[in-house]
Structures are given as C-alpha cells and as structure tokens.
Amino acid sequence: MPRPNKILEPTKTYNLNLTIADFDRLAKIAHRESAIYGHQVAIADLMREAIVVYLDALEESDDDDDK
C-alpha cells in the first residue's frame, strides 16, 4: 500500500543528511506528537513545518527591512 499524499500541491524531492543525534531528537518529537494528535506525525512533517516557519520569518524580516 502506498503512502498517503500529505502535500496537496506539486512537490520536489531533496535528499538530506542529518546527524544521528538530530534524527533521534526528531524521531522522539514525531512519536510524541503522533500520540498527542492521534495521527501519524513523521519526521518529514516536522522538517517541512520547520522550513515553512523559517521561510515565513525570513520574509517577515525582509518586509521589516524594507520599511
């Protein structure tokens, strides 16, 4: 059975190396959030969310610099 599509827009795949320590920390967070929210939260979900937060913060910073 294939994985369900969580992203409902075009995507691009990127291969990423992480330290084992960072991966293990993310795995613990994903496990904890899965239990809290009652559905599977993958490490990739956490990474995508972190990237969006980072990009939004950069845009906000750039908007502040333009004023």
Per-residue pLDDT of 18-65, as tens digits, reads 999 999 999 999 999 999 999 999 999 999 999 999 999 999 988 877
- Residue 45 counted as domain residue: yes
Number of domains in the chain: 1
Q: What pLDDT score was predicted for residue 63?
A: 80
- Is pTM, for the whole model, over 0.85? no
Beta-carbon contacts of 21 under 8 Å, excluding residues fewer than 6 positions away, are none
**Owner of token pair 């075009």:** 10
Query: Residue 64 sits in which domain range?
Result: 41-67
**In a 3-state reduction of DSSP, which class is residue 14?**
coil
- Residue 9 counted as domain residue: no
- Residue 60 counted as domain residue: yes
Q: Is the pLDDT of residue 67 over 70?
A: no
User: Quick one: which of 56, 32, 60 has its CA closest to 46?
Assistant: 32
Q: For 3-7, 14-18, 63-67, which range has the lowest pLDDT when averaged over its residues?
A: 63-67
- Residue 18 counted as domain residue: no
**Dihedral sign, Cα of residue 53, residue 54, residue 60, residue 61:** positive
- Residue 48 counted as domain residue: yes
- Residue 57 counted as domain residue: yes
Q: What pLDDT score was predicted for residue 44?
A: 96
**CA–CA separation, 67 and 48 (whole Å):** 29
